[in-house]
Amino acid sequence: MANDFFSWMKAGMLAFCFLFVSSCSKKTGLVMETAMKFPTDITNVTISSSGYHSGPCEPSICISPANNDIILAGSIIDNVHFSSDGGITWKNTRLKSPYGVFGDPVTLIDGTGKMFYAHLSNPKAKPYNSVEFLDRIVVQSSMDGILFSDGSFPEADQVKDHDKHWLGLDPATNDLLMSWTEFDKYGSKDWNDKSRILFSVSRDQGESWSKAITISQHEGDCVDDDYTTEGAVPAVGTDGTYYIVWSVDEKIYLDISHDKGKTWLTEDRLIATQPGGWAFDIPGISRSNGMPVIKVDHSKGHHRGTIYVSWSDQRNGKDDTDVWCITSKDQGKSWSKPVRVNDDKAGKQQFFSAMDVDQSTGHVFFVFYDRRNHKDELTDVYVAWSSDGGKHFSNHKISETPFAPSADVFFGDYNDISAVNGRIRPIWTRMDNGQLSVLTALIDFN
């Protein structure tokens, strides 16, 4: 009888605890942390392919927060990839602008469903042979992914060269943020020529932009290498604070604006070291980099407000490139120690990483090339994720077959990933028999 009584009491207490937790969860609106089971039915989809030794690479991708079946992607030099069925099928077109289109595609879709495609300029169609080449960063917009505007751009010094931009979005206002590198003269080895980080914001959905301002205190060279100030990426905090990260001289810097981009810190904040620098060598790749990415958790989960910064470097040796992540819980004032994202044993290469946060859950996702399964230059593609605020990461191979790149074929400077409402769409370049292709993987947690 006593055992029955205690069993009844135990069951009652468990039921009470369950109801209490459920009630609190509903009242606070928090997303409960749950273990993530990676989908087993992953399909690779080829978005676009090329001819021999040339074609699409350096891809960017974005899922529409307004309609998750709408996806906009881009690849160099002027490719537009549009899907209206969640990435199962794609329509490929070529982007045109009176200011020219010359690569570094960055795609973004705001909360209303308006699409944006940012790229380098080439007004005279004479790359590297005209004064106008790289004279501005152009942002073209579209509502259907097919017809795009001629493009808008921030006012900046058009005598100088403008490169390596990225877009960010304020989800509360749909304001567009853009940061990039201004070169006195791109590729110059003259130490008198410098590079710096610029910033601009659009408050009318890309119709116009604020005048570009310099936000970095430390200038780099113009060689487009480790000592060049490069890889600037913007993000917006849950309170509207603007953040921008970039790399130079084996360091990662953060700048912060508390007044919507009008003023910035008087001194760039060093938040991490990047041993070996952002530019490094990977066998079989013509050039590789580990430029940083920044994202902020805007979800209603336990890690809301967390700032994530990720990059890759060779601190463990030239044959052991790794992907790293740090987090801040106090608006960038302090940062965690770097956590290794790839969970393999030491001694293999992981590179060209990208990161996104699913704002419906707060889970953070990564995509990167990975050679853990091979002793040569054969390369797989992996996705990593964390559901505990970046403390631990799980890895899963998503490429159906490995590929072998070639050092004499340009692979671009980055891959990308987009995560919205449990729909994860990485995008990457691969090479088969001299032919380049851009692919995605259909990963759905719902």
Calculate the dihedral angle through the C-alpha atoms of 300, 303, 308, 314, rounding to the nearest 10 degrees. Answer: -140
pLDDT at 97: 98
CA distances from 27 to 23, 34, 306, 393 (A): 6, 18, 22, 30
The CATH number assigned to the domain with range 31-444 reads 2.120.10.10
Considering the entire predicted model, what is its pTM? Answer: 0.92
Please count the CA atoms within 13 angstroms of the CA of 77 that sit on its side-chain side.
11
List the structure tokens of 132. 């106008």
pLDDT at 211: 98
List the structure tokens of 329. 């819980």
First to last CA, the chain: 46
Please answer whether residues 254 and 233 qualify as being in contact, where contact means their C-beta atoms are separated by less than 8 angstroms.
Answer: no
Residues of the chain where predicted confidence (pLDDT) is lower than 50 = 1-32
| Whole-number Å distance between alpha carbons of 146 and 61 | 15
Classify each residue of 183-209 as buried b or exposed e, where b means 16 or more C-beta atoms within 10 Å of its C-beta. Answer: bbebebeeeebbbbbbbbbbbeebeeb
Which element (helix H / strand E) includes 142? strand 137-142
Task: Give residue-wise pLDDT tens across range 347-405.
Answer: 999 999 999 999 999 999 999 999 999 999 999 999 999 999 999 999 999 999 999 99
pLDDT at 412: 92
Domain borders along the chain are 31-444
| DSSP state at residue 30 | P
